[in-house]
Structure 1
């Protein structure tokens, strides 16, 4: 199989969360899109419905070869390498993503929350870390980034749990959580989630919510104003999805936002960050606003 055989046709506008939106500085969007195209190519390989594991791993190796500068193996890898070299950025985050996609090919079950979080460390956190590096932000923000990105990954897993099982026999819902409710993975093949499965999903959604509690200060600590607004938008969208997953059955009910819902949440999330930054700036310039003792 060649690279074209793995392409899903999915683009950055098809994702559940913003990718290189208009909030991001225009001169940085091409670099983010190069990283996205690399990640999308690897994701398409790992999720291909008919290719076998050997074919998938070989194609991921081709992506890595392109990232290393070997010509003729992967356009996406070569393009990302050029972007990284031009901006003096590390390829570490791209390599971490490849580790996650190789796991997708070879690992179909996750024993517990800890194992899932280890996967998210490679599958989700590198995306945000790359964006932070690109903007020249401090790596001191990485823990907040990792909490947000891991929450987003868990949300996507829960929304797509039935599809992942039916089409790929891949289950990110920790097996110990299912077993605690007397369930096995076949419960994800049903047209409607049982009360037991609903409890499992709601519990995992609450844990994703706890990650979002940790990431809430993230946007305010980002120096770049436009990136801060984008992170605020993503935080608001994620918090809303967690609340839905606590109440809704992803096997039989829609969890994803429609366009109007997403737009309203995005506006609210951006405004919250903008107002908090404004209050902080005004407070820093006029310390007397915080009150004085005398």
Structure 2
């Protein structure tokens, strides 16, 4: 793979700085990513982080800002982008022949967030994840040269599982923000309601509903794990790290009896180290 052009090195450095200052359950730029690919991972991360920040935190007209984000994306494919993160992204897109659709889908997810705060059914939530989570996995596969439907579908399972695990972990935060990612149909099935859920007080009905969502998410992780044997070792280890991290969130939820309304479950630093070691030494 060619090195980053001198004219773009500062742009990629800005993306890498952004990736290193945001801490998710696990670092985006882990040691398992081949060194030559790390700048491109950072460029994709900067794009994803940027569009999510607009959708969640921008204080002005978010829809207008998302339109401008989409315009810069268009310039990646048809012209000359105007900002460092998009100049870096354009090089990555061209280097790996990445299709536009996943990038557009992330913008669509954040547009939805501006007018939708509830999901009636599990299928509705999965459809949201199709836009908000699955594109990221498809971008990552693209960096390794995989754009076939089989691997992408398995990746979708893992990405959706990671997104839902994150939603379940952040229930207490999302309720305060007025976002509700537990399907209303499921709340009612277990004897609760959206109105009760909005109070932020755990009940046995809500606990049973969260447990149901955790069990569904475990199944998605199990299905997505079939992707790992089909890719090279370094990518397999990275995918496994993400999966183990998401599964650790589910275990943390189980350990506090499915109550993420009263207390946000966390994965301790010690557990993260053990997960990294497990990832490193598993064949």
- TM bucket, shorter chain: 0.7 to 0.9
Residue 67 (structure 1) aligns with? 73
SS state at 1:14 partner: coil
Assess, with a 3 A threshold, how the Cα gap between structure 1 residues 164 and 73 changes in structure 2: closer, same or farther: farther
Residue 163 (structure 2) aligns with? 153
Structure 2: distance between partners of 1:43 and 1:64: 13
Assess, with a 3 A threshold, how the Cα gap between structure 1 residues 30 and 85 changes in structure 2: closer, same or farther: same
SS state at 2:202 partner: coil
SS state at 2:70 partner: helix
Structure 2: distance between partners of 1:106 and 1:73: 29
CA contact under 8 A between 1:165 and 1:171: conserved in structure 2?
A: yes
Q: Is residue 242 of structure 1 aligned with residue 250 of structure 2? A: yes
Q: Is residue 85 of structure 1 aligned with residue 94 of structure 2? A: yes
**Mean CA deviation greater in 148-157 or 138-147:** 138-147
TM-score calculated relative to the size of structure 2: 0.84
Assess, with a 3 A threshold, how the Cα gap between structure 1 residues 141 and 248 changes in structure 2: closer, same or farther: same
CA contact under 8 A between 1:23 and 1:226: conserved in structure 2?
A: yes
Counterpart pick for 1:263 among 260, 263, 273: 273
Residue 133 (structure 2) aligns with? 124
Structure 2: distance between partners of 1:234 and 1:57: 31
Q: CA deviation at 1:64?
A: 1.0
Q: Is residue 30 of structure 1 aligned with residue 39 of structure 2? A: yes
Structure 1: distance between partners of 2:80 and 2:147: 33
- CA-based RMSD of the aligned residues comes to 2.1
TM-score calculated relative to the size of structure 1: 0.81
| Structure of higher RCO (CA pairs closer than 8 Å, 6+ residues apart) | 2
The aligned length equals: 259
Q: CA deviation at 1:74?
A: 5.0
Unaligned residue ranges in structure 1 (runs of 5+): 1-8, 275-294
Decide which structure has the larger Cα Rg and report it.
1
Assess, with a 3 A threshold, how the Cα gap between structure 1 residues 112 and 270 changes in structure 2: closer, same or farther: farther
Q: CA deviation at 1:68?
A: 1.3
Assess, with a 3 A threshold, how the Cα gap between structure 1 residues 174 and 10 changes in structure 2: closer, same or farther: farther
